[in-house]
C-alpha cells in the first residue's frame, strides 16, 4: 500500500515543499514540489531577529503548504529550519506559527545534520560517480559542504556564508564594487581555508539547492526553467567563473531580465555565484548539478 510523505525546508531565502509517494515496493515517486521566496533571513544578520514582514511571508507560505498537505491527506510530514531560525532572537513566533498551520514542530537542525541530509538526497538521484564526492548547498545564510565516499559521510561542515548573508554584509553597491568583491572573497576564502575539507581529494563535485540550479539554468541560457535540463548538467570552472563575473558586474535590474531568474533571487545570486566559484577554484572539477537535495534526503528517511 502506498503512503504520502512530505518534507518542508525553511531556509534563509526560500521555503520549499516536497511531497512523495512511497510505493508498495519501497520506491519513492515525486507528487509535488513547491517553492516560495520569502527571505526569512531579511536583516537577521544585522538585527538578530526576524523582520515582521519576512515572518508574515514565511508563515503565509507555510499555510499554502498546509492546505495542499491537508487536501492530499498527507499525515507524515517533517519541517526543518536552518540558518535564519538558528540565529533569530524572536524564533518563538516562527515556531508557534508553523505549529498552528502544519500541526508539527519545526526542527532546528544543526549544520552538520543539514549537510548530511543534503548529501543523502543529492547522491540518491545520481548515477554511479567517482569517489569521494563533495556535495555543496549554498543557502541564503549558510553553505553546507559534505565529503563522502560510497554513501557514507566522512566530513560535514556548515559555514556562515550564504547568498543573503554575503550580499548584506559585503556587497552593498548595485552592482558591487571591486573592493566589495575583494572583501567578500577574502572572507569566504578564510572560512574555506579552515573548514577541514580536503578539496584536492575530491573526485566528483555536486551542487544542490536554488543557487546552483539557478546558475545552471542561467549558464545554459534556458528560456524557461527545465528541471530535466538542469539535473545532471555539468558546469566547468571556466564558464562558472565567467558567468560569476558577469553577475557581479550587473545591476539587480539587469539580472532580473534573465528569463529563468526566480523573483526574489536576483539581488543575491551574484553572492551565491561568488561562493560557488571560490569553492570551484579549490576543487578543480566540473560542478555536477543535482535537483535532489535536502528535501529528498528528509523524505528518504521518513520512508524507512
Distance CA 203, CA 48 (A): 39
- The whole-number pLDDT of residue 1 equals 55
For 43: left if phi > 0, alpha if psi spans -120 to 50, otherwise beta; the answer is: left
The pair phi, psi for residue 218, each rounded to 5°, is -70, -45
Strand pairing category for 76-81 and 106-108: parallel
Strand pairing category for 204-208 and 287-289: parallel
Q: What is the mean pLDDT of each run of 10 residues along the chain (304 residues)?
A: 89 91 88 92 86 95 97 95 77 94 92 81 86 94 91 89 95 98 98 96 94 96 96 94 98 96 91 98 95 91 87
Query: Cell for 282?
Result: 579549490
Whether the CB-CB separation of 175 and 251 falls below 8 Å is answered with yes
Nearest by Cα to 13 from 117, 167, 158, 163: 163
- The whole-number pLDDT of residue 185 equals 98
- The whole-number pLDDT of residue 85 equals 76
Instruction: Locate all alpha helices (DSSP H) within the chain, ordered by sequence.
Output: 44-47, 52-72, 83-87, 91-102, 111-124, 163-170, 178-193, 210-220, 227-230, 237-248, 252-255, 269-283, 294-302
- The whole-number pLDDT of residue 67 equals 97
Distance CA 32, CA 186 (A): 40
Q: Which residues, listed in sequence order, are joined to residue 17 by a DSSP beta bridge?
A: 8, 34
- The whole-number pLDDT of residue 252 equals 97
Strand pairing category for 287-289 and 234-235: antiparallel
- The whole-number pLDDT of residue 127 equals 83
Which pTM was predicted?
A: 0.78
The 8-class DSSP code of residue 80 comes to E
Q: Which domains does the chain have, with CATH numbers?
A: 3-108 (3.30.420.40), 121-289 (3.30.420.150)
CA-based radius of gyration for the chain: 18
Q: How many beta carbons lie within 10 A of that of residue 188, not counting itself?
A: 21
- The whole-number pLDDT of residue 180 equals 98
For 205, the 3-state DSSP assignment is: strand
Query: Cell for 238?
Result: 571556466
Amino acid at each position: 500500500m502506498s503512503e504520502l510523505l512530505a518534507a518542508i525546508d525553511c531556509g534563509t531565502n526560500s521555503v520549499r515543499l516536497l511531497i512523495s509517494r512511497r510505493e508498495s515496493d519501497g520506491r519513492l515517486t515525486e507528487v509535488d514540489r513547491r517553492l516560495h521566496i520569502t527571505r526569512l533571513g531579511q536583516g537577521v544578520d544585522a538585527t538578530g531577529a526576524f523582520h515582521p514582514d519576512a515572518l508574515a511571508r514565511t508563515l503565509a507560505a507555510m499555510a499554502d503548504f498546509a492546505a495542499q498537505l491537508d487536501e492530499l491527506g498527507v499525515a507524515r510530514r517533517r519541517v526543518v529550519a536552518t540558518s535564519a531560525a538558528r540565529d533569530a532572537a524572536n524564533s518563538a513566533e516562527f515556531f508557534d506559527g508553523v505549529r498552528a498551520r502544519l500541526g508539527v514542530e519545526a526542527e532546528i537542525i544543526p549544520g552538520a545534520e543539514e549537510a548530511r541530509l543534503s548529501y543523502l538526497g543529492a547522491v540518491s538521484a545520481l548515477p554511479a560517480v567517482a569517489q569521494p564526492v563533495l556535495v555543496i548547498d549554498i543557502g541564503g545564510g549558510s553553505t553546507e559542504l559534505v565529503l563522502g565516499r560510497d554513501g557514507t559521510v566522512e566530513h560535514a561542515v556548515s559555514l556562515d556564508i550564504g547568498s543573503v548573508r554575503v550580499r548584506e554584509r559585503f556587497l552593498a553597491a548595485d552592482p558591487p564594487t571591486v573592493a566589495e568583491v575583494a572583501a567578500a572573497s577574502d572572507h569566504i576564502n578564510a572560512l574555506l581555508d579552515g573548514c577541514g575539507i580536503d578539496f584536492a581529494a575530491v573526485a566528483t563535485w555536486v551542487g544542490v539547492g536554488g543557487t546552483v540550479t539557478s546558475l545552471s539554468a542561467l549558464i545554459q541560457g534556458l528560456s524557461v526553467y527545465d528541471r530535466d535540463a538542469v539535473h545532471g548538467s555539468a558546469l566547468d570552472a571556466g564558464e562558472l567563473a565567467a558567468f560569476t563575473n558577469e553577475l557581479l558586474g550587473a545591476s539587480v535590474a539587469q539580472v532580473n531580465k534573465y528569463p529563468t531568474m526566480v523573483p526574489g533571487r536576483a539581488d543575491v545570486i551574484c553572492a551565491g555565484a561568488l561562493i560557488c566559484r571560490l569553492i570551484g577554484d579549490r576543487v578543480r572539477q566540473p560542478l555536477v548539478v543535482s535537483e535532489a537535495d535536502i528535501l529528498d534526503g528528509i523524505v528518504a528517511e521518513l520512508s524507512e
